[in-house]
Amino acid sequence: MQIGYLGLGAMGGALARRLQLSRKLVVFDLNPAAVADLTTRGAEAAASPADLARRCDVVFLCLPKSEHVRSAIFDADGLIEGVRPGAILVDQTTGDPNATRAMAERLLARGVELVDAPVSGGAMGAEAGTIAIMLGATDAQRARLAPILADISPNLFHAGAVGNGQVIKLVNNLISHSQRLLTQEGMALAVKNGVAPERAAEILLAGGARNAYMERILEPRVLKGRLKVGFTLGLAEKDVKLACELGQASGVPMPFGALASGLYHEMVAENGYGAEVETSGLITQARAETRYIPDDAPA
């Protein structure tokens, strides 16, 4: 079985490198440097998405948005021009579940299957093989893909039918990105009122305020001045906005999500889509006012 990977950015590249430890890959990306990184490790480069599809039985995709996935599949020289009946596409994008379901239905008419398998845990988790994979697929598709996905991480969770992986990933990111803002706000409040940042984090981690952001990012990285976590403000805004749109479409009130979405929108407008998520907003405010991140700390 030949496996391909399309989309070799920060997350897709990390996932492909992990998969490449046990699988021979054919890869494609618009960035030649990203392709070169994989080919120097033994992958084969495809000339186009269509070429990739012709050579593969299973094709993974990891792109910024569902619109990019749609283009990679259906545009001229896209996957659709080379994919064979019986092949399966695995979308690891944090995207729009309804758009994914529509693409899956369209592909099924051509005898091609599409499932979604977004991940949580960051590029470091992908490289380490500890990332959580959230699969939206039938039981038969799950059985077919489980051995391949296990080569990325043993932490595979079947969320239900196609699109459900992206549903739960959006819920995950809605909570985690909102949690990030509230945690920063609380830390700024503690430090401004005389509690040393390291002591504040120690106490909060021992109590009911403990959360994954504080444990994995704030305490070990941000408080030491390590602000590059490999995730951009633009992606955070996109994820929270998609979650709010899904809530609106399904009749779920989203007052806290809407507030977080608005804050991320403002931060993107101020800092740019590609700014690191930890270098803007409340963290920079707290740094300026309390200096709890050293000015000369390495990034």
Q: Which residues are catalytic?
A: 169
Q: Comparing C-alpha atoms, which of 31, 94, 137 is closest to residue 235?
A: 94
Instruction: State how far Cα 16 lies from the chain centre.
Output: 14
| 289 burial type by CB count under 10 A (0-12 exposed, 13-18 middle, 19+ buried) | exposed
Q: What backbone phi and psi angles, to 5 degrees, belong to 59?
A: -125, 125
Cα atoms in the Cβ-side hemisphere of radius 13 Å centred on 238: 19
Give CA–CA dist 11/63, Å, rounded: 9
CA atoms within a 13 Å half-sphere pointing along the CA-CB vector of 181? 21
Which residue type occupies 43?
A
Q: Which long-range contacts (CB under 8 A, 24 or more apart) does 106-111 make?
A: 106/74, 107/73, 107/80, 110/80, 110/83, 110/85, 111/85, 111/86
Helix (H) or strand (E) holding 167: helix 164-192
Q: Rounded to an integer, what distance in angstroms lies between the CA atom of residue 217 and that of residue 44?
A: 35
Helix (H) or strand (E) holding 109: none
DSSP string, 212-258: HHIIIIITTTGGGT----S-BHHHHHHHHHHHHHHHHHTT---HHHH
